[in-house]
Structure 1
Amino acid sequence: MKITNPARSPGQRKQDVLARLERETDVWVATADGGGLPCLVPLWFVWHADAVWLSTRLTNPTGRNLRDGGRVRLALGDTQDVVLLDGEVSVWSPADVPEAAAGALRAKTGWDPRGDSPSYAFFRILPYAVQAWRGTLELRGRHLMRDGVWAV
């Protein structure tokens, strides 16, 4: 593939990332267990109150890894339009999840885990690092957030 578009400014990249977090429904969720065994799955998500909210069962590897590990890497896009988000995880039971967050997930996806199996939990991911790039021209300056603070 030939790269013909100029690199976006960091400010434009941040706007594009935030727009994708609002628009997209699926995110790749990368976790690992205590022994380092990786797990990668797509899950529905919503961007709400400056955090990613998603839900899965605590009885599956991803749910256990999110709960026990406390950290996660999320990925949007393909290799030509990458967004990587590293975040700290907090776990919320269906009874304790903020109504606004559960309602935002329901409004975006049409699914409310609270009405599903009791093994579902909600997970809030607060980003501490965000990278975004389109091709090699944008590798420089791809770090848009570090230590939980937007660089742009």
Structure 2
Amino acid sequence: MKIDEPVRTPARRKSDVLARLERETDIWVATADAHGVPCLVPLWFVWHGESFWLCTRGANPTGRNLRDGGRTRLALGHTRDVVLIDGEVRVFGTGDVPVAAADAFAAKTGWDPRADSPAYVYFQVRPVAVQAWHGTRELRGRHLMRDGTWLV
């Protein structure tokens, strides 16, 4: 996007965000442990049923932080095309993850953790806040969701 292009409407921003969630495979996952030590890693994801579904080993730092903290911040894009999502986390073992979510994850990523190892855990992230902007000129109006409700 060039700096002289018009600022997107909130509806266009939401549409762009939802298209990216279908198109992209990797998302940055930010967590912190009980002492506030941050952790930032990219994970594969699928957007399914108004939630993000992630999968990683339950014993690694990200898995522990997601489980114990119950919240995360997810991020897509670079500094000129930002999407930030704050979400609440629920944890599912490979035996109790909803089949439709696990199937959608496997279809999108080409990897089915259910067939890999019981050490893997699924994390459902329900967004409570979504922001999107292209550069500083779109900072105004960047909030697309608050308290789990789309504003547009």
The interval holding the TM-score normalised by the smaller chain is over 0.9
Aligned-pair Cα RMSD in Å: 1.1
Q: Does 1:117 align with 2:120?
A: no
**Matched position secondary structure for 2:65:** helix
CA distance in 2, matches of 1:97, 1:19: 25
Q: Which runs of 5+ in 2 are unaligned?
A: none
- In 2, distance between residues paired with 1:66 and 1:72? 7
Identity %: 72
Write the mapping of 1:93-132 to structure 2, written as runs, cut at 5 A: 93-132=93-132
Aligned to 1:144: 144
Measure the CA separation in 1 of the matches of 2:69 and 2:136: 32
Which amino acid is 1:74 matched to? Answer: L
Please give the alpha-carbon distance, in whole angstroms, between the structure 1 residues aligned to 2:40 and 2:23: 21
- What amino acid maps onto 1:131 in structure 2? Q
1:6–1:137 contact (8 Å) kept in structure 2: no
Asked if 1:9 is matched to 2:22, the reply is: no
Where structure 1 has 5 or more consecutive residues not aligned to the other structure, the ranges are none
Per-residue deviation at 1:2?
Answer: 6.7
Q: Deviations over 1:76-101 (max 9, x none)?
A: 00001000000000000100001100
Offset at residue 104 of structure 1 (A): 0.2
Question: Aligned partners of 1:31, 1:8: CA distance in 2, in Å?
Answer: 30
- TM-score of the superposition, structure 1-length normalised? 0.98
Query: Partners in 2 of 1:5 and 1:57 — Cα distance?
Result: 43
1: distance between equivalents of 2:41 and 2:18?
A: 22
Instruction: State how far apart, in whole Å, the 2-side matches of 1:2 and 1:113 are.
Output: 40
Q: How many residues align?
A: 152
- Given that 2:28 and 2:40 are in contact with CA atoms closer than 8 Å, whether structure 1 keeps it comes out as yes
| Alpha-carbon contact 2:93-2:118 (below 8 Å) kept | no
TM-score, with structure 2 as normaliser: 0.98
- Structure 2 vs 1, CA of residues 48 and 2 (structure 1 numbering), >3 Å: closer, same or farther? closer
